[in-house]
Amino acid sequence: MKKQAKSNMVIAQSGGPSMVINASLCGAVTAAKGAKCIGKILGARHGILGILNSDYVDMRKIGAKKLDAIAHTPSSALGSCRRKPSAEDCRAIFENFKKLGVGYFFYIGGNDSADAARIVAEEAEKDGYPLVCWHIPKTIDNDLRSCDHTPGFGSAARFVACALKGDDLDNRALGGVKIDVIMGRDAGFLTAASALARVREDDGPHLIYLPEVPFSETKFVKDVKAAMKKYGRCVVAVSEGIRGKDGVPIGAKLGSGEKDSHGNVQMSGTGALGDALAKLLKEKAGVKRVRADTFGYLQRSFPGIASENDYYEAYDVGAAAVEIAMADKAKYGVTTGTVGIRRRKGKRYGVSFWSLPITEAAKIARSMPKEYIAANGHDVTQAFLDYARPIVGDLPECEIL
């Protein structure tokens, strides 16, 4: 009887990679290895595409040592995709699952991936296919409403803060204006994390522009002029998703216009926004030396600099997803959901995990709360710094003369 209750599991990764998404994969696989009712543990390559192509890795065959090495490796070891499953996709998925005896499905990713998992769960229910279907949160954008902060954000934010620390020192040496364009389509958390680079009163970034605050070219030029007057130099952190009063992203106006199947316009992997802002300052702010860097994909997959808290939380949330799914299944039968992340109250930093409806993570993204954005519209507040610091961890110390 117990043997018959065993069912196989599929796990996959989706959306943009992160430095710790493999930790979540390995946390979930390790927990699944210890779960009595899970048989085979199959990793689908490239998200749901791997299911559609029946392209699986037998995760039980991956030894503990290799699994640990994978957990510490950035990017998505199973490969990723940006496919929104159609009803037809879902039929094909359930056919494959049925053939392989799959009763558990875990999908690691951001809000689009949560939405994909929601679609799969809803279609499974419609079709009467008994599927335990869970979303495991991940996104460097930190924009899931279901999480105090998302696994992957802390490490990407650590890259951004380290980069700004170094870049501010570079700007001290050679002067002028330096613009750094940071990932974040709708939410400014990652760009805001640049503020963690500051230690001294005159440390950069001196100006921070978020997608949550309508961007005005006139104000930008004025802000830079004022910073140049005050500091004799200026470091600017700009989110790739900054948008004008009309709500249209400045970068999308300048970029390729390429869209993925979730309808998102491509913003990363092009230097257009940074170059346009640099040109604007040369022409309108009268600054001779203006340089712009677009951090691009480095901020999500750079090896060796992950935040320690982020790594462990990513591992734990993967394990928690499997444990919660098992417990809920035992109590309620087939279930679906996402794992929420709550920050523990009190002085000592820590998190706990809880079960939430999958819709809490799907589609609708979270923006920076108002209390994290400075009144001047080009900075963050102390509340944001207090929120972000334990997630990102200590940064390398730098000294100046």
Q: Do the Cβ atoms of 211 and 241 come closer than 8 Å?
A: yes
Give the Cα separation of 263 and 76 in Å (integer): 22
| 50 interacts with a copy of itself by CB under 8 A | no
Q: For residues 161 and 147, is the Cβ–Cβ distance under 8 A?
A: no
Pick between residue 180 and residue 186 the one whose CB is nearest to a copy of itself: 180
Contact region for a copy of itself (CB under 8 A) — 73-81, 186-194, 321-329, 340-348? 73-81
Q: Which stretch binds a copy of itself (CB under 8 A): 12-20, 333-341, 347-355, 379-387?
A: 12-20
Of the residues 5, 174, 199, 383, which one makes contact with a copy of itself according to CB under 8 A:
174
- Angle between helix 64-71 and 21-33 (nearest 10): 150
| Phi and psi torsions of 18, nearest 5° | -140, 175
Torsion of CA 332, 85, 19, 387, to 10 degrees: -60
| Contacting residue, 300, 323, 338, 368, with a copy of itself by CB under 8 A | 300
The four Cα atoms 35, 39, 45, 46 give a dihedral, to 10 degrees, of: -60
Min CB(98)–a copy of itself separation in Å: 25
3-class state of residue 95 by DSSP:
helix
Chain residues 178-207 in contact with a copy of itself, contact rule CB under 8 A: 178
Q: Does 280 bind a copy of itself (CB under 8 A)?
A: no
Q: Characterize 186-212 residue by residue with b for buried, 16 or more Cβ atoms within 10 angstroms of its Cβ, and e for exposed.
A: bbbbbbbbbbbbbeeeebbbbbbbbbb
Q: Does 35 bind a copy of itself (CB under 8 A)?
A: no
- 305 binding a copy of itself? (CB under 8 A): yes
User: Judged by CB under 8 A, which of 120, 121, 133, 278 binds a copy of itself?
Assistant: 278
**Residue placing its CB nearer to a copy of itself in the complex, 149 or 233:** 233
Name residues contacting a copy of itself, limited to 77-116 (CB under 8 A).
77-82
What is the set of active-site residues? Answer: 141
Residue 293 binding a copy of itself, by CB under 8 A: yes
Q: How far is the CB of 21 from a copy of itself (least distance, A)?
A: 9
Residue with tokens 């944001």: 384
CA-to-CA dists, residue 323 to 136, 145, 292, 320, 328, angstroms: 12, 22, 46, 5, 9
Stretch that binds a copy of itself, among 33-41, 93-101, 130-138, 163-171 (CB under 8 A): 163-171
Site mask for a copy of itself (CB under 8 A), range 329-358, x = bound: ------------------------------
Rounded Cα gap, residues 167 and 340, in angstroms: 35
Q: Which of 35, 69, 280, 385 binds a copy of itself (CB under 8 A)?
A: 69
Does the protein bind a copy of itself through residue 298 (CB under 8 A)? yes
Report the distance separating Cα 215 and Cα 250, nearest Å.
8
Angle at 7 between CA 361 and CA 47, to 5 degrees: 40
| Identity of the residue, 169 or 226, whose beta carbon is nearer to a copy of itself in the bound complex | 169
Angle between helices 382-392 and 153-174 (to 10 degrees): 110
Burial class (CB in 10 A: 0-12, 13-18, 19+), 139: buried
Scanning 237-245, 286-294, 309-317, 355-363 for contacts with a copy of itself by CB under 8 A, the matching segment is: 286-294
Q: Which residues bind a copy of itself (CB under 8 A)?
A: 13, 16-17, 19, 43, 46, 57, 62, 66, 69-70, 72-82, 162-163, 165-167, 169-170, 172-174, 178, 256, 268-272, 274-275, 278, 282, 290-298, 300-305, 395-401
